[in-house]
Amino acid sequence: MIGRMTALFTRARLIGLTAALVIFAADQWLKNYVVEVLGLRRIGDHYPLLPFFDLTRTNNYGVSLGMFQATSMEMRWGLVLLTAGIAAGVFVWIMRETQKWDIAGLSLILGGALGNIVDRYSLGFVIDYADFHIGSVRPFMIFNLADAAITVGVVILLYRALFIGEKHATEQDEPTADTTRGENQDA
């Protein structure tokens, strides 16, 4: 039993799960800081930081890019259940994954998902505040640390799947000298 637990919780997985918890805690702390310390309690409350980055309070009743808006209590709880199910799936994936960079990407996604799930569960919406802009042009919707972590995690997984994964598949598909020698002996 202990050997199985040791194999399950490899160093990379423990680091990944710890990183997920740190992201979750930092996300919740930042949201509290923005609302309670900086006083951005109402939608549209604004705190300028840099010429291209401000804190602007908004509530996101949907998921990624504001899609699937929860306009009723049933939809709210449906989103909580859906995102909790996705987070559980990501956790299982982390526990089965062996590649460190994939674990890193999944950990970012898990930490961000947990931060947004807690908001949606306790408030009915997700607090967003990070407002990147170039003059009046806003290339992104207002987001939060959890959203940023999820995005970076997805980019890592996509990069590895599209570029790194192909190299591993190609290397595995090529026969080795031992394989070809064994095939010739059977003939």
**pLDDT tens across 15-61, in order?**
999 999 999 999 999 999 999 999 999 999 999 999 999 999 999 98
- Let me know: does 117 contact 20? Beta carbons within 8 Å: no
The pLDDT value given to residue 135: 82
Q: Which of 83, 80, 63, 62 is nearest to 71 (CA)?
A: 62
The pLDDT value given to residue 103: 94
The pLDDT value given to residue 65: 57
Looking only at the bridges linking them, the beta strands covering 53-60 and 46-50 are antiparallel
Return the bridge partners of 112, or none. none
Q: Could you list the mean pLDDT of each consecutive 10-residue stretch along the chain, which spans 187 residues?
A: 61 93 98 96 93 93 68 84 93 92 95 95 93 85 93 94 64 47 46
Query: Which residue of the set 54, 147, 178, 186 is catalytic?
Result: 147
Residues 2, 166: Cα–Cα separation, whole Å: 36
Query: Which residue of the set 27, 128, 173, 178 is catalytic?
Result: 128
The pLDDT value given to residue 8: 65
> CB atoms < 10 A from the CB of 84, how many?
15
Active site residue 186: no
* Cα dihedral 79, 80, 85, 90 in deg (nearest 10): 100
The pLDDT value given to residue 10: 84
Active site residue 147: yes
Residues 103, 13: Cα–Cα separation, whole Å: 7
The pLDDT value given to residue 5: 52
The pLDDT value given to residue 184: 46
Residues 72, 96: Cα–Cα separation, whole Å: 36
The pLDDT value given to residue 63: 73
